[in-house]
Structure 1
């Protein structure tokens, strides 16, 4: 699904647009002018649907060169290993330090997959693989690829390893928020060991201080204009010491 010039949504599960596997997050693809950059990778159960959607959008999977991860949860990172196995060319992987450590541990408990299975989020048959991250990014690190400038922002709260990305391309700025923020200023707090209300509020305040046009969250609706209003609404709660409404609540 082409959503804006050079920006495509190539996967989205049940908490979204049902383009691909039910467990997939929103997977965003940006044409940098020097290859395609993917933000998150879905759960990995049906990457054929992702490649099919790319083809429908007129994009060649052979042009996929980069994957940026927001965090290690399986619905966002589970597609990395099968994508790497499927494509014959190399992919450069980017992530924040804690997400990289979790990916490289290949340990399902470090991404709370054991807890998610216990709550019935994933079937017992679901398996996740980690991967080696090529570029471990620090907070505020800026990566230049083609015509795109990509800035990593540490935004813990939903999980301790969570990061977002501020992408500037052709005079427009987009926030890829992962699970740090959703449409309507909602967040996603859940019963896992490293989910923090305090950190979530701090991350919301940080995002509300940014200027961006396009809002590309990890699930649900996106915005192509005045995207910052979603962060600003969340901040109206955070600035009073309150958690914003929980997604789906």
Structure 2
């Protein structure tokens, strides 16, 4: 049956991977890792009414709240037709998506948000700093990756949520968790998913990778707030209830599309701690 389901999914999404060339909101970005990031994956139910509808290298989640759907992240602009096809393949109508939650104002996670909002009528939700970047369709002036360049379609319909604020919808409550470091506007999201009398907390974590363009220094005056941001995020990931972890880039959280091992969020923070420590050591030399 799995083989048959996969074949049906491939048939149903074969045309979705080719966005309309004349659509400015889904026009393909020439990104070096686009093929890797957008490796096609069929929709996968995580637990309860929570799904993954993204790709091999970029996570996109879907939550059925009874009163509507919530999507998390939008991948690259050219990914939008496949995301919508995966939502349909999972048995849902994209027009039922009411909100799209953003993890960070970078093109690999926010590039598809404008088209997704247009095509579904949904409102995009982000942190205050994240919303600034999404409105501009560009990285912030203090972003460690600014010199990489790259702009993406700007998002017009936005709502801002603060750290700890809760989006209550249907039978689901989704909590916003500020997790700065990778960007100062990064936001992670958590909610409870239930099935057969058992409930688990799922965390969709923003990137915590301390990467930057060449020449950037985290130990400079401009970089020190980012180091403090990472440390704040580590403390949060150490303490947050976390039965299942989804990371914005799946390979940052372990093998597979999500991590349901005990201590997954702490391990996610520890990975970044180690990478940041090595980076700072190199800068001191």
Normalising TM by the smaller chain, what interval?
A: 0.7 to 0.9
TM superposition outliers: structure 1 runs of 4+ over 6 Å: none
Q: Is 1:27 equivalent to 2:55 in the alignment?
A: no
Match of residue 175 from structure 1 = 203
- Structure 1, gaps ≥5 residues long: 17-24, 181-187
Partner SS for 1:67: strand
Number of residue pairs matched?
216
Distance 1:50 1:37 in 2: 13
Q: Which has the higher helix share?
A: 2
Q: Structure 1, residues 196-223: CA drift from partner, whole Å, max 9, x if none?
A: 3332132112111111211111012444
1:3 is the counterpart of 2:62: no
Q: Which is higher, the Rg of structure 1 or of structure 2? A: 2
Give the 3-state SS of the residue equivalent to 2:77 in structure 1.
Answer: coil
> 2:129 corresponds to which residue?
98
Normalising by structure 2, what TM-score? 0.67
- The superposition leaves residues 8-54 of structure 1 with CA deviations (integer Å, 9 ceiling, x where unpaired) of 211225xx2xxxxxxxx211111111111001111111311111112
Q: How does 1:80-229 map to 2 (within 5 A)?
A: 80-87=113-120, 90-104=121-135, 106-110=136-140, 115-117=147-149, 127-170=151-194, 171-180=199-208, 188-192=209-213, 196-220=226-250, 221-223=256-258, 225-226=260-261, 229=263
Please give the root-mean-square deviation of Cα atoms over the aligned residues, in Å.
Answer: 2.7
2:33 alignment counterpart = none
Distance 1:100 1:179 in 2: 17
Q: Please give the per-residue CA displacement for 1:151-179, whole angstroms capped at 9, x wherever unaligned.
A: 11111001111111111233321111021
